[in-house]
Amino acid sequence: MKPELMKRMVKGPDGVEFEVEPMRDYYCDAPPTVQHGAYIKIVEDFFNWARSQSLWILGFGTGCGAIEMRPLMTPRFDAYRYGIQWRPTPRQANLLVISGYLSVKTLKRAIRAYEQMQNPKYVVGLGSCTINGGMYWDSYNTIKCLDQYLPVDLYITGCMPRPEALLAGFEDLKKLIRAGQAEGANQYAERFDWYKANQKQVIHDWDMPDYNW
């Protein structure tokens, strides 16, 4: 436990000593809750259409596939046509792309990024490394099956899929969203303890709250 996170006694300006517990005082420790869609199906379909039409990807290249995602924004592939856009902060992003192998260290950051995104949010895994560890199947520091740690909506095959494959993949994702089957966020909320247990089993220096708002 890092010293700055340790419990400590602090003297206020009026001389009164009181205890500051960083994990409790600095972070909100509320668990995620299942968020149901709009009551009327038509409104939910319309929202799903809008969500599929403006798919904002979080600019967080986790593995070797990130290099493939850059050309999406260039004239040749031009993802803008499909309403897809980079967003620098997870707050405003809807899609987290895990591109290739995911080391435990990056998993910790990916979890934090994923949890700071707003419901509904989608995860897309690239290549076999996110399915069964791929060629890093016996590596000591990568995770073998992404689905145990984050709810994945779509996998795109290819050691590392080319931009066209990514675009096709995103079209499939759009179909899922329009169909209303991309409810990864709610799944994460329902089986939150299971996910958390898997994550804590792999990440040993756990110095953050259970759910990073």
Q: Quick one: 29 or 135, whose CB is closer to other proteins?
A: 29
Structure tokens at 27: 């972070």
CB of 166 to other proteins, least distance (A): 16
Q: Which stretch binds other proteins (CB under 8 A): 12-20, 127-135, 154-162, 168-176?
A: 12-20
Residue 26 CA neighbour count, 13 Å, CB half: 12
Q: Which of 70, 112, 162, 200 binds other proteins (CB under 8 A)?
A: 112
Residues 6+ apart with CB under 8 A from 129: 63, 100, 101, 102, 135, 136, 142
d(CA 196, CA 200): 6
Q: Characterize 27-45 residue by residue with b for buried, 16 or more Cβ atoms within 10 angstroms of its Cβ, and e for exposed.
A: eeeeebeeeebeeeeeeee
Residues 188-207 touching other proteins, rule: CB under 8 A, are 207
Q: Which of 61, 83, 134, 158 binds other proteins (CB under 8 A)?
A: 83
Alpha helices in 116-162 (DSSP H): 129-132
**Residue numbers at the binding site for other proteins (CB under 8 A):** 4, 8, 10-14, 16, 18, 20, 25-28, 30, 35-38, 46-47, 49-51, 53-54, 60, 74-75, 78, 80-81, 83, 88-92, 94, 109-110, 112-113, 116, 118-120, 207-208, 212-213
